[in-house]
Structure 1
Amino acid sequence: MSEPASSALAGIGIAKIFGIVFGATAAAVVVMIMTRPATRHEWAVALICTVIASICGGALVIQWLELHAWAETFEGLIAFAGIYFTAGLPAWVLVRGWFVFAAQREHASITDIVKDIRDTVGKN
């Protein structure tokens, strides 16, 4: 028979993993339903970028705001899933924007692309 403490810790660990996976997956699904990717290649890249941005961005927000104490309650873990979800949404916008930007400059050289980016940002 396992000790109650180790079983409880395993349950908390599973809940944390579920929150991360749920938040990241939900973000990816929502953004892809709103704006469908044009190709399979774009779909795969967008999915990977959205999930990674959800997990890494959510972790950054949790660390930055020092929300670690929320991990001790079920409600806190649900809030973490929302943070992971919200962190993934901007990633799709950036990926989609990059695909449009790259498609418009498909035959341009790398120096022309860097020049376009610098002109756009205002750093000549």
Structure 2
Amino acid sequence: MKLGAFSVSLTVKDINKSKTFYEDLGFQVLGGDIAQNWLILKNEGCVIGLFQGMFEKNILTFNPGWNQNADSLDSFSDIRDLQKQLKAKGVKMLTEADESSEGPASFTIEDPDGNPILVDQHV
């Protein structure tokens, strides 16, 4: 199963302080909008998202259709196909992608310990 680019989405209290902290660790801004309280940062192959006031918990995030630089891929597993495969394996969906749609969509699941996992396709 190919889930796409991986990142950790961190819920932060002060996005400016968090940005400075992670920049001190060598991360550089890859995308996002600090005025909207979200940024994507990268250090080599590691990608993190900083989100202020958007989520209750940190989230493991996968982006089908993207590589680790948020570049669109020519070939990838569509989110609706991934969702069908997981449902067939008995994975409980917290939110679901509309299987009759095309293009961008997302679904959410949890691992056995309650860690949220967002699968979010942007293309």
More contact order relative to length (CA 8 Å, sep ≥ 6): 1
Q: Normalising by the residue count of structure 1, what TM-score does the alignment of the two structures yield?
A: 0.29
Between structures 1 and 2, the one with greater strand share: 2
Q: Normalising by the residue count of structure 2, what TM-score does the alignment of the two structures yield?
A: 0.29
